[in-house]
Structure 1
Amino acid sequence: MSDRAVPRALVTLLVAAAAVITLAGIKAIDAIAGPVVLALVLTIAVSPIRSWLARRRAPAWVVVAVPFTIVMVLLLGMVATLIAAVAELAVLIPGYTEQFRKLVADAQAWAAAHGVAPQVNKALQSLDPGKILEFAQGLLSGVLGVVSSVFLIVVLLLAMSLDAPIISRVMAAASAERPALTRALTTFASKTRRYILVSTIFGLICAALDVVALYLLRVPLPLLWGVLALITNYIPNIGFVVGLVPPALLALLTGGIRGLVLVVVAYMVINVVVQSFIQPKFLGDAVGLTTTATFLSLIIWATVLGPLGALLAIPLTLLVRALLIDSDPGAKWSGALVSGEIPRD
């Protein structure tokens, strides 16, 4: 008697259940999983430098130390900039309490003049000057939370940097027995590097232009918002909106409605033009994900790993695709659903 095929609906339910259990497990150890993925992505990002040094027969310690040092300088420099700027913000914002009260009073007066006072007053009841200080303290706590993981990230980076040459040799040896898996992981590393490179270049361009615009508009702490714009550039789809909110709020406090509008317009012109029209032409097929898959990956990984998951949404999704889809020759149509590319026979 022949074995009956497992119903496709049952397979789908089992896969969905396994995905939920796996994501729940990752969420339970997010304090470890996030730094591990970040260290992995940073190690992959500098692997061309490691390969370049190895081809020129540099000493083994140089092959490890140079990429590690580059990553550490960039990572610690960005963290130090954020700490200094956010600490200054926490001191600066309480001084805008009077401006906040004036904005509330102006809003109430406008609402009364236009006959919508009850609705506006109800919305304003939840606002108070203390919210401004809470915002600064919350932002500072968030940055300090990232700093608390820096030690773990540094240790992981060092360990992965030491193991990178060994992993490269293992991958080369495994290519004969596991060609599909090796090819999938190699493609993942290549796409991740290209995504990080292009996103970093255009993130720096946007950040520099944002800093200039904020400086000309006299918004306090333009350097902080520039660094924030660079970081949020790695968040797909909604990154620039996240980076816009704090400087827009500060522009409202310092320059009123006019200042708010000018900052929003400046950000939209700079970020929408660069990220929506110019960057995709250079990024090309580096991601290999549909718009829907990208947006869903942002939601899922931000829920599982928090802010770090939002920053690493694309590399994490590329890794999952490499392990579950690209490494399986029979899953080419599943890959087409997330990439939008019809497979060729």
Structure 2
Amino acid sequence: MRDQPVPRTLVILVGVAAAVIALFGIREVASIAGPVVLALVLVIAVSPVRGWLAVKNAPVWLQVAVPFLIVVLVLLGMVGILTISATQLASLLPAYTTEFQQLLVDAQQWAAAHGVSDEMLGKGMQAFDPGKILGLVQSLLGSLIGVLSALFLIVVLLLAMCLDAPVTAKILTSGEHSRPQLVKALATFAHKTRRYLIVSTVFGLINAVLDMVALSLLDVPLPLLWGVLALIANYIPNIGFVIALSPPAMLALLDGGVQTMVLVIAAYIVINVVTQSFILPKFLGDAVGLSTTMTFISLIVWTFVLGPLGAILAIPLSLLTRALLIDSDPNAKWVQALVSGKRPRGERQIS
């Protein structure tokens, strides 16, 4: 009696169930998984430095130390800037309590003049409680303390991965004969991740500098904090622009009124449209290899699994998942086309 083939529906259901179990499992150890992935991505980002030193026949300890120190200095610099700026923000916000209350009164009068009910006004005023904003700042400071506590783990992981990088590269090279598809998929993942990080960092720095200049010209407080926020939010697909814009626009409203807020929003939109919509695609091109829908789904999934760090690492995590589950399988070309949003070459489009 011949074995009956397993129904494809059952295979899909089992695969989805396994994915859900794996994601919830990773979520339970997010405090460890997040730093591990961040350290891996950072090591991949600075791997060309190690490669350049290897070509120059530099000692092995130098090939390890230089990339490690570059990453650590960048991390310490960003954490230091965020900590100081967030502390300044927490001490600055109470000074705007009067302006906030007056803003609510003006909004209430305007809404009443346009026929908005008192019940809706009451709910709106409760939603814009100044105490909630202060609570948000306190939670931000708490998150920074969490980053500081995890920084030791990240640094240790970085050192371990940098020490293992030369050996890992040789092991992958030796596996080209036995598992060529997997080795090629991992190499493609590293290349795409590195290109994505480099291009996003360069354009994030450009955005951050331009935003800081615009905020300084408009006399919005703490332009350095909002510039760093714009740089970090640049790694968050789809909604990063909104995250970077909301706090300085709100502070501009409290500090300079509606006109200043409108000018801040206009400046951010112009800078974002020019750099992200016109210039960035020409440099990044199809390096990521993910469709718009898959990018947005990746953002939702990895934010759910790893929290805010998952939002920042959504693209690298999705590229790693694609490399391990799709690109390493020679029979999954149609899935590659589905994920990237491009139909395979030589196949007719179904209409």
Which TM-score tier does this pair reach, normalised by the shorter chain? over 0.9
- More deviation in 105-114 or 234-243? 105-114
Q: Name the structure 2 match of 1:35.
A: 35
Which 4+ stretches in 1 moved above 4 angstroms? none
Q: 1:31, CA displacement in angstroms?
A: 0.1
Deviations 1:108-166 (A, max 9, x none): 11122222142233311333332232222122112222222111100000000000000
Q: Name the structure 2 match of 1:68.
A: 68
Deviations 1:218-269 (A, max 9, x none): 1100000000000000001111111111111111111121122111111111
Cα RMSD for the two superposed structures: 1.1
Q: Name the structure 2 match of 1:235.
A: 236
Identity %: 65
Q: Does 1:273 align with 2:274?
A: yes
What CA distance in whole angstroms lies between the structure 1 residues aligned with 2:129 and 2:191? 49
Q: Name the structure 2 match of 1:100.
A: 100
- More deviation in 221-230 or 137-146? 137-146
Relative to the length of structure 2, the TM-score reads 0.96
Relative to the length of structure 1, the TM-score reads 0.98
**Which amino acid in structure 2 is aligned with residue 113 of structure 1?**
A
The 5 Å alignment of 1:144-183 reads 144-183=145-184
Go from structure 1 to structure 2 and tell me whether the alpha carbon gap of 1:230 and 1:338 turns closer, same or farther (over 3 Å shift): same
The 5 Å alignment of 1:208-287 reads 208-287=209-288
Deviations 1:45-89 (A, max 9, x none): 000110111111101100000000111111111111101100111
Q: Secondary structure at the match of 1:330?
A: coil
The number of residue pairs the alignment matches comes to: 345
Q: Name the structure 2 match of 1:18.
A: 18
Q: Which runs of 5+ in 1 are unaligned?
A: none
- More deviation in 162-171 or 265-274? 265-274
Q: Which runs of 5+ in 2 are unaligned?
A: 347-351
**Which amino acid in structure 2 is aligned with residue 143 of structure 1?**
L
The 5 Å alignment of 1:123-202 reads 123-202=124-203
What CA distance in whole angstroms lies between the structure 2 residues aligned with 1:257 and 1:121? 22
Q: Name the structure 2 match of 1:110.
A: 110
Q: Name the structure 1 match of 2:349.
A: none
CA contact (8 A) 1:97 1:132 kept: no
Q: Secondary structure at the match of 2:196?
A: helix
**Which amino acid in structure 1 is aligned with residue 249 of structure 2?**
A
Q: Name the structure 1 match of 2:325.
A: 324
Q: Secondary structure at the match of 2:331?
A: helix
Q: Name the structure 1 match of 2:339.
A: 338
Q: Does 1:122 align with 2:129?
A: no
